[in-house]
Chains A and B, each alone.
Chain A
């Protein structure tokens, strides 16, 4: 285990009255280093937290964002829940999955409502929300990720103003 990861996990444990509360943050940190919750990652987190790997595995399998199989470095979650699917999300997902093909860098997954139905259909690329997307955006989206550029800068959620006309700017 890298000293940095161990430090991060120890700092997380110190935040809570009970160290077990650091389980999700610790697994998330280990996943960032190892790419997924690999047996080795679980062993090391278990040692740092003084819990068993089996316990960590049972937790990891419960949560959608923790990968219990090897996964691509760049996660692309495509929302296929109700509001997005009303506006073409299923087609969008297929288009992204096809274009990404079997490139091992990508982890393309259909996802439940991501909490951004205002820009449906949407995807979260390594945590950055972009939308509304059409199948025409797909080549650019993948290209931006490959070149490690900000993805679709003018479709990023954080830049959008509030829809409410009464909310003063």
Chain B
């Protein structure tokens, strides 16, 4: 069942004409003929959970916005910078009108009159495509004043970021959109009450909003028939790393993970096996080949000690040292930490240094213990979850591949052990 990718490679789908020929903007007409409360009821009935990482029920989030005539905002999170994630990119590039239609319908349900798409600055081509689609949507009266005579009005601006992972975190994003450094804010207050310009704000991921037209088309209940009890619907999965056919796939939630890695993405190259895989971007604790038969859905991944996150599966084969993986991951979070909280700023930097000591043979197995406990001290002690986003995968690697770390420490130390009579090496490798 394809809802988002149904016509994705149709030539010209990014234009209004072709999108409309495929039934585009019919859902918007249908929604505008309903009361906003009825549209919201469909969203709640669908059970759609946010596709940006946290998996919070979308309908419920809309219902948290205060009622009444105060100015409300809708912000689409198109920052997509969780390593391994590239699904929103393909959607925006090939089907920009689907996102615009979803935003207009969601704004109607939420009573929002101003909206923004915050797109990461690196997505230059996709932002240009969105801008072009927006011009067409405005000309057709789908965006702007009194949309299709419904009385509902919405402005929409494509806002380009400038390269900072932390701006994907919703409150960092809001500060960035207000023209500041993208530092996360203390929560509460939550954006639903005090978000952009202190006003009530609905923030959703691109894929979440792009799913809205399909929900209106097939009905909330129809959508809820797809997937599992607690993970409804279809999901875009970005598969990358050591697989033969990396790319985006639309799956029904709950399919076996093996079917995604080996079926859709073609498995690994001849003779190689899965060493570990990230089920939800580089922030998710790694799983091993023994976990491949788990259904791919929110709860199964959580039960296995990891998370579905943004739906980005990164596959690492058995020829790759786990230390290399850990270093890459830790360096990324150290670079992207905004520095506001001590455990995150110091913990990410310290972890990188520790891993480098392991690499050069200066560490002892005791240091693994300390490193594991540092990860535990980061978790839950910061303003946003960026610190956790490093601590969780690194912690999982130490727990699951401890032997390999220890062997590495021993091997490097042995290789550099001073010959009898020679002066002992101190500090870094001579």
Residues of A within 8 A of B (CB): 15-18, 20-25, 27-28, 58-59, 62-66, 77, 81-83, 85-87, 111-120, 124, 127-129, 157-158, 161-169
Contact = CB atoms under 8 A, between A and B. Distances in A.
Contact of A63 (B7, B88, B114, B161): B161
B303 interface: no
A158 B179 contact: no
A159 to B, nearest CB: 11
Contact of B157 (A15, A81, A111): A15
B94 A82 contact: no
Interface string B77-100: 000111111101110011000000
Contact of A168 (B9, B177, B249): B9
B160 A28 contact: yes
Contacts of A77: 122
Given A65-B162, A166-B5, A115 B85 contact: yes
B32 interface: no
Contacts of B328: 81-82, 85
Contacts of B84: 82-83, 113, 117
A18 B121 contact: no
A12 to B, nearest CB: 9
A168 B7 contact: yes
Contact of B8 (A23, A81, A112, A162): A162
Which residue of A20, A82, A117 has the most chain B CB atoms within 10 A of its CB atom?
A82
B162 A163 contact: no
Contact of B123 (A24, A115, A161, A166): A115
A66 B7 CA distance: 37
Nearest to A85: B328
Given A15-B157, A163-B245, A164-B2, 5 more contacts: A18-B179, A22-B179, A65-B163, A118-B248, A162-B5
Interface in B1-21: 2, 5-10
B157 A164 contact: no
B247 interface: yes
Contacts of B247: 118, 162-164
Contact of A162 (B9, B165, B239, B338): B9
Contacts of B240: 83, 117-118, 120
Interface string B54-82: 00000000000000000000000000111
B15 to A, nearest CB: 15
Contacts of A112: 81, 83, 165, 332, 335-336
Contacts of A17: 114, 197
Contacts, number: 182
B27 to A, nearest CB: 19
B83 A63 contact: no
Contacts of B178: 18, 20-21
B329 interface: yes
Contacts of B123: 115
Given A117-B241, A118-B248, A164 B160 contact: no
Nearest to A24: B162
Contacts of A15: 157
Contacts of A116: 86, 89
B314 interface: yes
Nearest to A18: B197
A28 B165 CA distance: 18
B83 A164 contact: no
Contacts of B381: none
Nearest to A128: B125
A51 B282 CA distance: 38
Given A127-B124, A167-B2, A64 B83 contact: no
A162 B122 contact: no
Contact of B164 (A63, A158, A169): A63
B181 A62 contact: yes
Interface string B103-136: 0000000000010000011111100000000000
B205 interface: no
Contacts of A163: 239, 245-249, 264-265
B181 A21 contact: no
A141 B240 CA distance: 24
A8 B80 CA distance: 27
Interface string B226-268: 0000000000001111100111111000000000000011000
Given A112-B332, A117-B84, A59 B157 contact: no
B86 A28 contact: no
A120 B125 CA distance: 18
B160 A82 contact: no
B308 to A, nearest CB: 17
A128 B126 CA distance: 10
Contacts of B336: 112
Contact of A118 (B9, B238, B250): B238
